Structure 1
Amino acid sequence: MAWVYLVAAGLMELVWATALKESDGLTRLWPSVIGLTVAVLSVVVLSLSLRTLPVGTAYAVFVGLGAIGVALVGMIAFGESASPGRLAFLALIVAGVVGLQLMESS
């Protein structure tokens, strides 16, 4: 169950980061409220995963999932660069996240 919490917390980063982008520097009310609320909620859910997972592994996976997800949202929704180099480095993050999960399982 800890891994489910961890993945959920990581995916919440997509929501809050996108909402904060849309908040225009916290000047738009509802994107700001959504972004800040989901950011707090993601940390709460992360803390649930930390009941059983090592903090180093959990935080690395949390940040990795968020970084990958937000980068992909940026490419798809905001027209950010999807260069081969950028995609290759995102793939390295995926490999690291998968590797950490495999090491934790063994």
Structure 2
Amino acid sequence: MKWLILIVAGLFEMGWAIGLKYSQGFMKPIPSMFTIMGMIASFHFLSLALKSIPLGTAYAIWTGIGTVGTVTLGIVLFKESIDITRLVFIGFIVVGIVGLKVVSSN
């Protein structure tokens, strides 16, 4: 359950990161509202996960999920670059996330 909570926190991080783009510097009220709600939810779920997952592991996985998801959504939603080098380095992040989960004692 603790890992599912951390994944949910990472998904909300993706949501608020994408929301920042749509809010245009918090100038658009509706996207800004959803962005702030996503931030609150993301931090809430991260704080719950931190009760049983070590800080360094949880933080790295949380930001990793957010990073990989945000890059993926940036490619899909905003037609950002699909450069092979970029994808290789995103793959390294995924390997790091999986590695941290595998070696975690919790």
CA distance in 2, matches of 1:96, 1:10: 15
Give the alignment's TM-score, normalised by structure 1: 0.97
1:26-77 per-position Cα deviation (integer Å, ceiling 9, x unaligned): 0000000000111111001001101110000000000000000000000111
Residue 28 of structure 2: aligned partner: 28
CA distance in 2, matches of 1:20, 1:80: 16
Residue 81 of structure 1: aligned partner: 81
The percentage of aligned residue pairs carrying the same residue is 41
CA distance in 1, matches of 2:85, 2:105: 31
Unaligned residue ranges in structure 1 (runs of 5+): none
Q: Tell me the secondary structure at the aligned position of residue 19 of structure 2.
A: helix
> Residue type matched to 2:69 in 1?
G
Residue 64 of structure 1: aligned partner: 64
Unaligned residue ranges in structure 2 (runs of 5+): none
Shift of 1:99: 0.1
CA distance in 1, matches of 2:32, 2:102: 36
1:58-102 per-position Cα deviation (integer Å, ceiling 9, x unaligned): 000000000000000001110100100000000000000000000
Regions of 4+ moved over 4 Å: none
Shift of 1:15: 1.1
RMSD: 1.0
